[in-house]
Amino acid sequence: MQESSDQKFTIQLERSPAGLSRPRSIKRRDKVHQKIGRLKQQYSAASPHCDLPVIAADQNARNAKAITWEHRLKPGSKASHPGVTCLQTDQDQWEEQTLWKIYVTLTDLEAVFRSLKSELGLRPIYHRTSRHAKGHLFLSVLACQWVQKIRTRLRAKGITDSWNTIRNNLNDPKRVTGVYRRIDGTTVPVRRAVSAEPKQQEVYEARDINSAPGGVRKSQVWP
């Protein structure tokens, strides 16, 4: 994240000097300082590690001529001391790779449940009896198990996207109806599935699913 913020901040800085040579662009020294201040506020994680002197163009120091910067890691900051993540467990027989794999699996399950909360209405629960609430939770957990089963089979085919990404990719398939009018005045509605996108086709092929379910339906309608 720090590297990404530094990169975006640098890109914005590289664009700024180009405007100093264009007509009707910001050139006044105080305005340039304000623009740099807004950039520093927007990229607060990267700006403390940059020295940004503004060079004046004339003796009155009214207009800016150039903007230069130098990267210097601020001592004692997150960039200079990013820290480490510690995992604590009572399973002293596990290897480091096993512990990390289980930790990532738990994170992945949390992401799946966040998705299921909105799709299946896992939370909040409006049932008035404990029996109905338990049934609701059972169906939600069962759905989560199916999600994991689908993802396991997709991973076997080289598809390692998150469930949220897979769901978004498969959100668009639709069936459309086109109506064609014949010379004799009759109309022929033709209903078919739209062509699958590359990401969708990849999932369909991995699960042996027909990308055009329902085939093409034609029916004749008389006026």
184 domain residue, yes or no: yes
Residues 115 and 137 in one domain: yes
pLDDT at site 136:
83
Note down the domain range covering 205.
175-218
pLDDT at site 144:
77
82 domain residue, yes or no: no
pLDDT at site 57:
66
Q: How many domains does the chain have?
A: 3
Residues 150 and 187 in one domain: no
Nearby residues of 133 by Cβ (< 8 Å), 6 or more positions away: 125, 127
Residues 159 and 138 in one domain: yes
Query: Which parts of the chain sit beneath pLDDT 70?
Result: 1-3, 15-24, 27, 53, 55-61, 74, 76-83, 118-122, 216-223
